A and B are shown apart, each in its own frame.
Chain A
Amino acid sequence: MARPDRTPLLELRGIRKRFGAVQALYDVDFEVYAGEVVGLVGDNGAGKSSLIKAVAGIYATDSGEVHFEGRQVTIGGPNDTARLGISTVYQDLALCDNLDVVANLFLGREVVRPVIPGLVAALDEVTMEQRAIQVLRDLSVQIPSVRTPIASLSGGQRQSVAVARSVMWNSKVVLLDEPTAALGVAQTRQVLDLIKRLRAQGLGVVVISHNLADVFEVCDRIVVLRLGRRAGNFDARAASREQIVAAITGAEFGTPAPAGAA
């Protein structure tokens, strides 16, 4: 839910982005508070991915301001967002199937210990394994063993590992792109529970999803994008499914949504 009395963790003001003849984002405002899960919904081409990619630093925006913890910041690339504590989990998860869970959690940030100081360093597998177990336990992620290769895990477990990796490096805001797409019932439950635990730990979570049932279950607030503009900002507990669908499709409030539009 929106809490105007507090400073948002991440706040975007008047974001514009244009691709050739297409105005993908037009004066979009967006904010997420600490300990809040925001659903970002909209039809295909509404600008969800463009907005996420702008925050993640993949695209430079044409205009607009980004504030992080009340300070104005410039995002020039993915490294800037990582330094601020914003992490993104894309739909393809970006895990290495041939490596085990520990190796994936620490990929690119391996813990090493010197063998010949200053010259040769070896992987500190013991420390990494301990920390991996700790992180997964904190998030109650169920995995047979942290030494299992990613290839052996279920879709929900993979999503959980990807999320765990994104939050284990002091992240404050996590952007999840379609985290429950292509997951079964039990696996979706796993991931939704994980999102709730992230909220309980005080993170700001942004969930892009087409699945309104999931959005209503896990989100505090729902922001609707339509044709590159913010078409609505709803308190998830007060809003009805019809209202959201109407905002997504552009129908008048109160009129029934066209069949199959969700």
Chain B
Amino acid sequence: MSAIAGDPRLIADRPGLAGTLEGVWRRVSQGEIGSLPVVAALILIAIVFQSLNPNFLTPRNLTNLVLQIAAMGTISVGVVLVLLLGEIDLSVGAVSGLCAAVMAVLNVKAGLPGALAVGVGVLAGAGIGFLQGVWITRFRVPSFVVTLAGLLGWQGLLLWVLGDTGTVNLTDPAITNLAGIFLGPRLGWFVGLAAVAVFLASLSRARRRRVAAGLGVGTTGALVARIVLVGGGILLAIAVLDAGRGVPLAMLILLGFVVAFDWVTTRTGWGRHVFAVGGNAEAARRAGVAVDRVRVLVFTLSATLAACGGILAASRLLAVNQSSGSGDVVLNAIAAAVIGGTSLFGGRGTIWSALLGALVIGSISNGMDLLALASSVKFMITGGVLLAAVTIDAVSRRGRQAAGRA
């Protein structure tokens, strides 16, 4: 450990596996729960649905699950960014629908090439987010209100863009392939092994630098556990998906966003500033952080990711219609971020919570579909899960305060 001078009150983890486990338990009981509850919830959900319907854990159904959560997870990545600031973006659903509609109309009605239409759709999202971000920072209107107005306004614009026909069907492979193609086994394994190799290389490089600088490193047990969990997880996922239709491109797109934004938020100065603004905006301002610029960029990214999610959803549905991005899209995206462990109170969370939370919501919804449950039951159960997740957040926040860590 990098203790400056041995403080006798400092509790250090004892060496060895038992010490590591002890440390984990102590942190959990003090409210530093990280993604533990959500992983436990995922395992529980899998056990319950698998015992009720043996089709749940089949490669075919898991592939479906991945495709179902790609759009929600992508939108949720942007929501996590906004929540880290301690703000909220209620417009992500409407923006996702509008940008998908912009893409569809440009491609189908105006004859723009698919890739270009996708690009314009994403840019439209960026523009909308920039506008909302500037409005929030310039006029000091709460983000809740600006994005609530956005929720209504952008949905209206969606109807206007779609025009009288109401539904635009997509056939351009450049668009439909996004959620429609799968990597063959060879390419899938190549991507998976490359990811594991990059993960190992970055871990060992970071460790070597710390050792060379004379700084403390974590225990070997924790390192091995991380490598086994992450590496094993990647390879297992590929093996399962290959037994189905292969690795979906949509999953790689979602994972790409998650990994990229996780890196940006935890490894760059800008990401550090996002956490600082979420933790104490006034302190960040006095430390010289361009607080308003951070806020505007976060809202821009949130709407941009919403556009990407909307386009993925359209690609999977092969159409954009008047209900695109409406209904529970925004609520699911926010719920996913919170269920995954990102705090609604700002400054605490990780991008990975978008993926984990989307997996929880997606697997509950998928499992209930397999059981052919009525919509009424589905809504109530999803609501209950969200309430449970927020309660865990609030209670663990209190636990952290009691342990002096809030």
Contact = CB atoms under 8 A, between A and B. Distances in A.
Contacts of A109: 287-288
B4 A95 contact: no
Contacts of B4: 133, 136-137, 141-143, 145-146
Q: Which of A78, A96, A99, A141 has the most CB of B within 10 A?
A: A96
Contact of A130 (B213, B268, B400, B403): B213
Interface in B226-273: 267-269, 272-273
Interface string B294-335: 000000000000000000000000000000000000000000
A145 B3 contact: yes
A107 B405 contact: no
Interface string A91-130: 0111111110001000111101000000011110011011
Nearest to A162: B283
Contact of B209 (A126, A133, A149): A126
A251 interface: no
B261 to A, nearest CB: 14
Interface residues of A, number: 36
A147 B289 contact: no
Interface string B196-231: 000000000000011001110000000000000000
B164 to A, nearest CB: 46
A120 B289 CA distance: 18
B279 A99 contact: yes
Interface stretch (B5-13, B97-105, B374-382): B5-13
B278 interface: yes
A152 B404 contact: yes
B279 A97 contact: yes
Contact of B269 (A98, A121, A151, A152): A121
B57 to A, nearest CB: 38
B267 A107 contact: no
Q: Which of B9, B276, B278, B283 has the most CB of A within 10 A?
A: B283
B287 A108 contact: yes
Contacts of B283: 93-96, 107
B213 A126 contact: yes
Contact of B215 (A78, A107, A130, A144): A130
Q: Which of B4, B5, B348, B405 has the most CB of A within 10 A?
A: B4
Contact of A94 (B213, B275, B286): B286
B280 A142 contact: no
B2 A107 contact: no
Contacts of A130: 213-215
Nearest to A88: B286
Nearest to B212: A126
Interface in B1-55: 1-5, 7, 9-10
Contacts of A137: 4-5
A121 to B, nearest CB: 7
Interface in A133-175: 133, 136-137, 141-147, 149, 151-152
Contacts of A133: 2, 4
Nearest to B215: A129
A98 B272 contact: no
A152 B405 contact: yes
B406 interface: yes
Contacts of B369: none
B347 interface: yes
B269 A112 contact: yes
A149 B276 CA distance: 12
A187 to B, nearest CB: 14
Interface string A24-65: 000000000000000000000000000000000000000000
Nearest to A134: B4
Contacts of B284: 96, 107-108
A110 to B, nearest CB: 4
A123 B268 contact: yes
B276 A107 contact: yes
B40 to A, nearest CB: 24
Nearest to B214: A130
Contacts of B5: 137, 142
B268 A129 contact: no
Contacts of A120: 268
Interface of B: 1-5, 7, 9-10, 209-210, 213-215, 267-269, 272-273, 275-276, 278-280, 282-284, 286-289, 347-348, 400, 403-406
3 interchain residue pairs of minimum CB distance = A108-B288, A108-B287, A98-B279
Given A97-B406, A107-B283, A141-B4, 19 more contacts: A78-B286, A94-B286, A96-B275, A97-B347, A98-B278, A98-B280, A99-B275, A99-B279, A103-B275, A103-B276, A110-B269, A120-B268, A126-B215, A130-B215, A137-B5, A143-B7, A144-B9, A146-B2, A152-B403
6 contacts: A97-B406, A126-B209, A126-B215, A133-B4, A146-B4, A151-B400
